[in-house]
Amino acid sequence: MHFSITDILVFAGYIIVMIGFGIWISGRKDTDDNVKDYFLAGKALPWWAVGGSLIASNISAEQFIGMSGSGYVVGIAIASYELMAAATLVLIAKFFLPVFIRHNIYTMPQFLEQRYDSRVKSGLAVFWVLLFVFVNITSVLYLGGLAIETILGVKLIYGVLGLAIYSASFSIFGGLKAVVWTDVVQVVVLMVGGLLTTYLVLDAFSGGAGFWAGLQQLYHTVPEKFDLILDKSNPEYINLPGIGVLVGGMWIANIYYWGNNQYIIQRALAAKSIAEAQVGLAFAGIMKIILPLIVVVPGVVAYALHADIAKPDQAYPWLLGNYVTTGFKGLAMAALIAAIGSSISSMVNSTATIFTLDIYKQHLHRTAGDRHLVLVGKLVAALALLVGVGVAPLLGSLDQVFQYIQEYTGFISPGVVAVFLFGLFWRRATANAALAVVLLSIPLSAALKFWQPAMPFLDRMGVVFLLLSGVLVVYSLMDKKAPNNWQPPEPGLFKTGMVFNLLSLLIVGLLSAIYLLFW
């Protein structure tokens, strides 16, 4: 793709400014040796920083590249991940967050220790560290490197290295505070740049008639790509199994990701109050409803234009190269790098948080002070990036990386969701039962995949969740070891403010209208 001098200046200027901003924040004294500041940003984030950082951490190459690639293949049905996430954020904000924040936890494993015991905490802490490093960080680095290779002609490994260095500038030394405040800047860039790219692509598709004309023409050109609920005859039904998307495993995937996933929920835990955290999540929910325009529609346009690409994940870079005009390519590329960098930095920070506080301090150095723990966190963050750089190029044989991420994260998410749901709301759940569910989650998911290969993986997640829930209930009732003194939250804890309630109603109304329109 040809970059003009203007494009190069915009793109390079953005990278230099963000690295400088990250280094400046990282150099502030309050991020150096304070565990609360390094891992939870001092628990002082306002709602707009929580919501902005959530979206910046969530939206990455797996959406810009991976979801656009799935949009090319599937159509807007893949947007259900974004749309249902908005509803899930409301659920998490109302029923999960108040409990987590009230118990003053830093990590999800810490909550599991309070609710169950250290065995459950340590088991899931190890799973999460491995998942973050070998699935999340590596896949985002790979997709980012693929985009850079396709757009700029830079070899994939050099693109991966560049992204790792860029992310390291504000994820290793500054901790969560540096990550969040750079996220606030980056979410503006990725939303503005992403929407601008969609506008330019649709305008070009309509022959210069504008955004809405392009969207209408796209709908009439490829109507088969505008079904949110796929029919069984659709070859992609195995990935998005019709009505099962609304009532089945998609809920497990979303509750896990938004409610139990450290690198997402960590922002809400760092809010200055429960009310600020809840409004922040609702604000993120509104942005999630907008995001299909940025990360799905371009893939559909590439399909309608019969894009000359070797694999679906090249759809978005192909559009940037052919339909984003000179002068705007630099901003579009900056938006893409903003999304990738913020997600990698978030994953790296959360990997360091869980390893340092839940594995290292628990099992290797119980008396470690703040300064020592922060140093360990920085070393782990650097190591996680190095491993990601080494493994990322190995993902080149995959067709749709977004679906790969969802499926293999789904090997652990049913068990995690069962342990958290029953742990939060059923006092009788025991530590032994929870540990059994954690240990069974991956083998049971793998066995079902082997015995029922034709079963859509979202349906498989739902089935595994139900089976594991049955195991947890039966084992808990039979367990002679009494549950600990955990008391389920009182109903008054779930009372929410007017702003959150209004935003929640808006989210539900918008989602209802969208699904009725594209059923």
E strands within 49-175?
none
How far is the C-alpha of 10 from the C-alpha of 498, rounded, in Å?
A: 41
Residues 100-117 pLDDT 10s: 888 888 788 888 888 888
> What's the pLDDT at 175?
67
- For residue 301, pLDDT beyond 50: yes
Q: What is the mean pLDDT of residues 377-385?
A: 89
> What's the pLDDT at 443?
93
CA angle at residue 233 from 231 to 238, to 5 degrees?
75
Place 140 in a pLDDT band, splitting at 50, 70 and 90: confident
Residues 45-100 pLDDT 10s: 889 988 988 887 787 766 777 788 888 988 899 899 899 999 999 999 999 999 88
Q: Give 14-35 as a DSSP string.
A: HHHHHHHHHHHHHTSGGGTS-H
Structure tokens at 83: 């749309």
Nearest to 444 by CA among 412, 417, 422: 412
> What's the pLDDT at 45?
83
How far is the C-alpha of 381 from the C-alpha of 385, rounded, in Å?
A: 6
Nearest to 259 by CA among 459, 123, 416: 416
- DSSP structural state of residue 458: H
- For residue 270, pLDDT beyond 60: yes
Place 399 in a pLDDT band, splitting at 50, 70 and 90: low
Q: What is the mean pLDDT of residues 378-402?
A: 80
Taking the CB of residue 397, how many other CB atoms lie within 10 A of it? 5
Q: What is the mean pLDDT of residues 386-390?
A: 91
- For residue 450, pLDDT beyond 70: yes
> What's the pLDDT at 31?
47
How far is the C-alpha of 9 from the C-alpha of 181, rounded, in Å?
A: 23
Higher pLDDT, 305 or 26: 305
- For residue 35, pLDDT beyond 70: no
> What's the pLDDT at 404?
64
- For residue 314, pLDDT beyond 60: yes
- For residue 7, pLDDT beyond 50: yes
Q: Which residues contact 189 (CB under 8 A, 6 or more apart)?
A: 14, 331, 334, 335, 338
As a 3-state breakdown, the chain gives helix, strand, coil percent values, each rounded to 5, of 80, 0, 20
How far is the C-alpha of 513 from the C-alpha of 509, rounded, in Å?
A: 6
Q: What is the mean pLDDT of residues 446-473?
A: 90
How far is the C-alpha of 354 from the C-alpha of 377, rounded, in Å?
A: 9
> What's the pLDDT at 392?
85
Q: What is the mean pLDDT of residues 408-427?
A: 88
> What's the pLDDT at 39?
63
Higher pLDDT, 511 or 60: 511
Cβ(166)–Cβ(158) below 8 Å: no
> What residues form DSSP beta bridges with 45?
271
Most confident of 225-234, 279-288, 410-419: 279-288
- What percent of the chain has pLDDT above 70? 92
- For residue 417, pLDDT beyond 90: yes
Q: Give 402-418 as a DSSP string.
A: HHHHHHHHTTTHHHHHH
> What's the pLDDT at 409?
77
- What percent of the chain has pLDDT above 90? 25
Q: What is the mean pLDDT of residues 489-514?
A: 91
> What's the pLDDT at 297?
93
- For residue 348, pLDDT beyond 50: yes
Higher pLDDT, 144 or 77: 77
> How far, CA to CA in Å, does 455 sit from each of 152, 237, 368, 506?
39, 10, 48, 35
> What's the pLDDT at 33?
56
- For residue 30, pLDDT beyond 70: no
Nearest to 189 by CA among 17, 344, 350: 17
CA angle at residue 61 from 325 to 210, to 5 degrees?
35
- For residue 170, pLDDT beyond 60: yes
Q: What is the mean pLDDT of residues 299-321?
A: 86
CA angle at residue 506 from 422 to 89, to 5 degrees?
30
How far is the C-alpha of 103 from the C-alpha of 114, rounded, in Å?
A: 9
Nearest to 72 by CA among 317, 418, 357: 317
- For residue 312, pLDDT beyond 80: yes
Least confident segment among 205-219, 245-259, 386-400: 386-400
> What's the pLDDT at 512?
93
- For residue 263, pLDDT beyond 50: yes
User: Superfamily assignment of 5-94+129-397 in CATH?
Assistant: Sodium/glucose cotransporter (1.20.1730.10)
Higher pLDDT, 253 or 64: 253
> What's the pLDDT at 34?
61
- For residue 201, pLDDT beyond 50: yes
Higher pLDDT, 24 or 71: 71
- For residue 1, pLDDT beyond 70: no
Higher pLDDT, 410 or 473: 473
- For residue 447, pLDDT beyond 90: yes
> What residues form DSSP beta bridges with 271?
45
pTM, 2 dp:
0.84
Stretch (H or E) spanning 148: helix 138-152
Residue 326: φ, ψ to 5°: -55, 135
Q: What is the mean pLDDT of residues 490-507?
A: 90
How far is the C-alpha of 175 from the C-alpha of 349, rounded, in Å?
A: 6
